[in-house]
């Protein structure tokens, strides 16, 4: 479940980005379609009722189609970048452990060969 978490974070960033892009486009198209059909929207804020015209709905729909996907794409950078950092740190940890094992093996070989040389010198 928690193996390769960096790749999972990057995949999550992509999925969230695409959901935002698709949701923004669908919302914008819905607003534009309502505006083209001539459907206005009554907004009730508790005090007065405001009417949003069909033309304004079309303009807002176009803005939603542009702004929401752009913000979704830009905000995915942070999560994707974090996943990339986790991936890189994991790779560095693995390579450091491999290097430490190699250095440890070399140090043990040097130690044992030095002991063998000393024992051979004592026997002669």
State pLDDT tens for residues 94-122.
999 999 999 998 988 888 887 877 777 77
Q: What pLDDT, on the 0 to 100 scale, is given for residue 69?
A: 96
Band the pLDDT of 17: cuts 50, 70, 90: very high
In the chain the first and final C-alpha atoms are separated, in Å, by 60
pTM of the model: 0.70
**C-alpha separations of 88 from 2, 95, 99, 102, 115 in Å:** 16, 11, 16, 21, 40
**C-alpha separations of 30 from 19, 24, 69, 75 in Å:** 16, 10, 15, 24
Pair of tokens at residue 16:
């969230």
State pLDDT tens for residues 67-90.
999 999 999 999 999 999 999 999
CB atoms < 10 A from the CB of 24, how many?
Answer: 20
């Amino acid at each position: 479940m928690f193996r390769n978490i960096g790749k999972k974070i990057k995949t999550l960033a992509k999925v969230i980005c695409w959901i935002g892009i698709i949701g923004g486009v669908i919302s914008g198209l819905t607003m534009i379609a309502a505006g083209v059909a001539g459907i206005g929207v009554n907004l009730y804020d508790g005090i007065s009722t405001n009417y949003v015209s069909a033309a304004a709905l079309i303009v807002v729909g176009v803005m939603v189609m542009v702004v929401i996907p752009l913000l979704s794409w830009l905000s995915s950078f942070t999560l994707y970048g974090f996943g990339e950092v986790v991936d890189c740190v994991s790779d560095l940890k693995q390579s450091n452990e491999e290097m430490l094992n190699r250095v440890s093996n070399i140090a043990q070989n040097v130690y044992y060969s030095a002991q063998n040389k000393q024992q051979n010198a004592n026997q002669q």
